[in-house]
């Protein structure tokens, strides 16, 4: 077991429902090595508190919905050096749940061959669902309940559950209870064509009925973010992602074989283009004069991610070399109409204050890119004394991350955004960048539906 390499088992499987559509579930773990980096600043370790470490993180390639995974039953199970009974708990995040596998964490754990004695539960918190899975894992370890927890997330947007209309559902339930042929015929006769119209899932706020893209367009307008600024940022994301992909830096990806096709080993949404080409696209949400387009928005994505989180004491005793410490984290919430996507602005200063750090102490920034307009609006809000004073109760602005430290291996705009899985990608990327770049502290921040947000400070593990 003593080794500088952790072998993690990754399972990706799908099942056939009665309607023959596929259900993408997922899970867990594969193998990667470690690099060396130096430390120079103070550590955030606290006397009397357990050190919680990220031992390893993996993910499937993030794939544009409707491409490689659609209508392909997949299965991959790699045996591992990690004993199946060494995991105490499994937590997974997802957003659009399949009714038949509502606790996807449990079903995936059983499918992966983990002991049926290991508890598992599923969480949902929109785009920060796997963030919640990770911090829940950290909480269990900090409380002394567990020493090793697998956390992760999954989303399969190529085959989302589609419901019958409310009237049709009511009729079908009544049919199930009908006792006589006459009652059944009467209920069948009451069905109208309008009842057959399906209810499609929508990326919209329940409280406002507004799509997230529409909110992003309004947010960009409120902060004066131009179409050119958004396109430039999106182009930056794709260009940096392509550079990282070509350089082999996206080492958290686990390749898998799709029956009848080639081995899938890369994210397939990375598409650097030109400002001229991007400028030709029409507004996607606020038509005709909106600034949010398909090119400067994250795309619907299929994918899964997982991390192994342990107490440092247990990890070292088992011979593992962790990648990073998981330190302070916060969750925030604000108005879901006008401030839906400003989670990073609110969460960043709070988590830095908890950790006793400043923006200047952070070596690596990884912010979730829902829309280019959302990222640029957050950066402008963070750079505004007026916003800090008026809405955040601060004496001055939060300050902005330097772009030479910001999302240097691409982001959700280019890599993709499987809702429930992105958080683990962000944290694992921070750990890898700290090792590669020689930094000590990293910061993850993300917005989420409902006007919520998350931020976490990560500290590099001494190599």
- Residue whose structure tokens are 């997974």: 92
Q: Output DSSP code: residue 461.
A: P
Q: What phi and psi, each to the nearest 5 degrees, are found at residue 140? A: -65, -40
Interior angle at CA 455, CA 41 and CA 151, nearest 5: 100
Rounded Cα distance, 335 and 416, in Å = 26
Q: CA gyration radius for the chain?
A: 23
Q: Is 97 within 8 Å of 108 (Cβ atoms)?
A: no
29: Cα separation from own chain's centroid: 16
Q: What are phi and psi of 365, to 5 degrees?
A: -115, 130
Among 266, 230, 273, smallest CA distance to 379 is for: 230
Burial of 103 (0-12, 13-18, 19+ CB in 10 A): middle
Please name every residue paired with 91 in a beta bridge, in sequence order, or none if there are none: 121, 151
Contact assessment for residue 377 and residue 421, using Cβ atoms and an 8 Å cutoff:
no
Report phi then psi at 22, rounded to 5: -90, 150
Nearest to 413 by CA among 240, 219, 253: 240
- DSSP structure string for 195-245: GG--B---SB-TTT--BHHHHHHHHHHHTT--HHHHHHHHHHHHHHHHHHH
Tally of CB atoms within 10 A around 192: 11
Contact by Cβ (8 Å): 327, 351: no
Which residues are identified as catalytic? 127, 447
Burial grade of 323 (CB within 10 A; 0-12, 13-18, 19 or more): buried
């Amino acid at each position: 077991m003593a080794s500088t390499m952790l072998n993690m088992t990754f399972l990706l499987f799908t099942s056939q429902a009665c309607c023959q559509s596929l259900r993408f579930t997922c899970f867990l773990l594969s193998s990667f090595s470690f690099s060396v980096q130096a430390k120079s600043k103070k550590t955030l370790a606290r006397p009397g508190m357990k050190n919680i470490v990220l031992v390893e993180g993996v993910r499937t390639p993030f794939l544009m919905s409707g491409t490689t995974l659609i209508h392909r039953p997949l299965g991959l199970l790699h045996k591992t050096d990690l004993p199946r009974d060494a995991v105490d708990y499994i937590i997974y995040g997802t957003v659009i749940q399949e009714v038949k596998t509502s606790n996807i964490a449990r079903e995936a754990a059983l499918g992966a061959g983990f002991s049926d004695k290991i508890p598992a539960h599923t969480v949902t918190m929109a785009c920060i669902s796997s963030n919640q899975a990770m911090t829940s894992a950290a909480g269990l370890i900090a409380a002394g309940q567990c020493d090793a927890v697998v956390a992760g997330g999954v989303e399969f947007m190529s085959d989302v559950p589609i419901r019958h209309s409310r009237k049709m559902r009511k009729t079908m339930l009544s049919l199930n209870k009908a006792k006589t042929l006459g009652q059944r015929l009467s209920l069948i006769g009451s069905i109208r064509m309008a009842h057959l119209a399906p209810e499609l899932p929508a990326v919209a706020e329940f409280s406002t009925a507004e799509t997230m893209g529409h909110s992003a367009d309004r947010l960009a307008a409120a902060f004066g973010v131009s179409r050119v600024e958004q396109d430039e940022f999106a182009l930056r994301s794709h260009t940096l992602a392509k550079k990282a992909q070509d350089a082999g830096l996206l080492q958290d990806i686990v390749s898998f074989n799709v029956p009848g096709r080639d081995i899938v080993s890369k994210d397939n949404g990375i598409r650097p283009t030109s400002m001229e080409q991007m400028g030709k696209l029409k507004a996607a949400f606020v038509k005709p004069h909106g600034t949010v387009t398909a090119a400067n928005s994250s795309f619907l994505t299929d994918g899964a991610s997982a991390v192994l989180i342990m107490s440092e004491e247990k990890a070292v005793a088992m011979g593992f070399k962790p990648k990073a410490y998981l330190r302070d984290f916060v969750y925030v919430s604000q108005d879901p109409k006008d401030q839906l996507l400003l989670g990073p602005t609110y969460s960043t200063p709070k988590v830095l204050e908890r950790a006793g750090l400043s923006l200047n102490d952070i070596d690596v920034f990884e912010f979730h890119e829902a829309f280019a307009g959302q990222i640029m609006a957050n950066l402008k809000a963070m750079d505004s004394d007026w916003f800090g004073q008026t809405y955040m109760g601060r004496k001055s602005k939060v300050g902005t991350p330097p772009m030479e430290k910001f999302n240097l291996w691409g982001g959700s705009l280019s890599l993709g955004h499987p809702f429930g899985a992105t958080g683990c990608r962000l944290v694992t990327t921070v750990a890898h960048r700290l090792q590669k770049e020689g930094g000590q502290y990293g910061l993850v921040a993300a917005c989420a539906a409902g006007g919520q947000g998350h931020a976490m400070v990560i500290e590099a593990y001494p190599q």
